[in-house]
Structure 1
Amino acid sequence: MSDDHATGAAPGDSSLGRIETEVALLMRLGEATRRATGSAEHRVLDRAAYVILRHLDAAGPQNVSALAARLNLDGSTVTRQVSALQRDGLIARAPDPADGRGTVISPTPAGLHRMAAVQAARTRLYGDILADWTPTDRDTLATLLSRLNQALDSRTRHR
């Protein structure tokens, strides 16, 4: 079996090599852009805290195990991150209504405020970066990135 066939690539499909390169570059430049951005709003939350708060805002209160599973992270990693968020007053723990022995976490108003500030700063940044793109091109990019993220998420869940 050829390498192309083993990876699901059609023989001679150079677009997959370009995609791999562009995704690697996107991740590197995204992080470099975050670090280089002068706005303090980008730095009021680290990346992990932002992702946790965004998920809790969208999905509602969760126990740490469910949160770890959804974010594809080790439970001990999420526990450490949640402890730091709680120490900073950005999340709160409450008894789990489904299991009185456990707890669920949810964002506090301060956590939601900080998350919204980071989200607004990031939205403005991408607005500046993509200012010369047409609305159709921006919409196409959003759609394709969503599809890529869904495919990546599906693959990690089925491994």
Structure 2
Amino acid sequence: MSDDAHAKEVTLGRIETEVALLMRLGEATRRGTGTMEHRLLDRAAYVILRHLDQAGPQNVSALAARLNLDGSTVTRQVSALQRDGLIARTPDPADGRGTVISATAAGLQRMAAVRAARTRLYGEMLASWSEADRDTLAELLHRLNEALDARNRRR
């Protein structure tokens, strides 16, 4: 193996390790944070509500496709959110047999509280970082998420 190929392999190995740690530590941080706001929603509910807030109302199939989840998984999560009054179902104007899911005001308020708590937490953790480093991290994470999303869509 050439020195160049070895260096690339080492770098990719470091990336794999750091992403694995990021996922584990991110979840541990969410679970271990003492403030109530962090526990207002589980991860799945937060992701669904964030997506509905950004993309607007949609049917379960579109939601499942966008989140790269099985339709039955999303249906269960949506049912729990509906029981808690965080989403509403209305008839789908494009398909009378289906329903469209939308976030309720209560769902959006709860999601916003979790988002604000997470933003404060990251602000505290990254307080010693320069603005340029925070911007770079945000851009690189965005690019990584785009690459992961594109790969999942090709499957």
For the aligned pair, the TM-score class normalised by the smaller chain equals over 0.9
* Regions of 4+ moved over 2 Å: none
The sequence identity of aligned pairs, in percent, is 81
Q: Which of 32, 36, 52 is the equivalent residue of 1:36? A: 32
The Cα shift of 1:100 comes to 1.9
Q: Which of 83, 86, 91 is the equivalent residue of 2:87? A: 91
Alpha-carbon distance in 1 for matches of 2:89, 2:142 = 31
Q: Report whether the alignment pairs 1:11 with 2:11.
A: no
- 1:1-159 pair list within 5 angstroms: 11-12=5-6, 13=8, 14-159=10-155
Unmatched 5+ stretches in structure 1: 3-9
Alpha-carbon distance in 2 for matches of 1:75, 1:40 = 30
The Cα shift of 1:123 comes to 0.1
Alpha-carbon distance in 2 for matches of 1:11, 1:87 = 54
Q: Which residue of 2 aligns with 1:5?
A: none
The Cα shift of 1:137 comes to 0.3
Alpha-carbon distance in 1 for matches of 2:70, 2:132 = 38
TM-score, normalising length from structure 2? 0.95
Unmatched 5+ stretches in structure 2: none
- Code of the residue aligned with 1:110 in structure 2: it is A
Q: Which residue of 2 aligns with 1:6?
A: none
- Code of the residue aligned with 2:68 in structure 1: it is N
RMSD: 1.1
TM-score, normalising length from structure 1? 0.93
- Code of the residue aligned with 1:17 in structure 2: it is G
Equivalenced residue count is 151
SS at 1:11 equivalent: helix
**Structure with greater helix share of residues:** 2
- Code of the residue aligned with 2:37 in structure 1: it is E
The Cα shift of 1:21 comes to 0.5
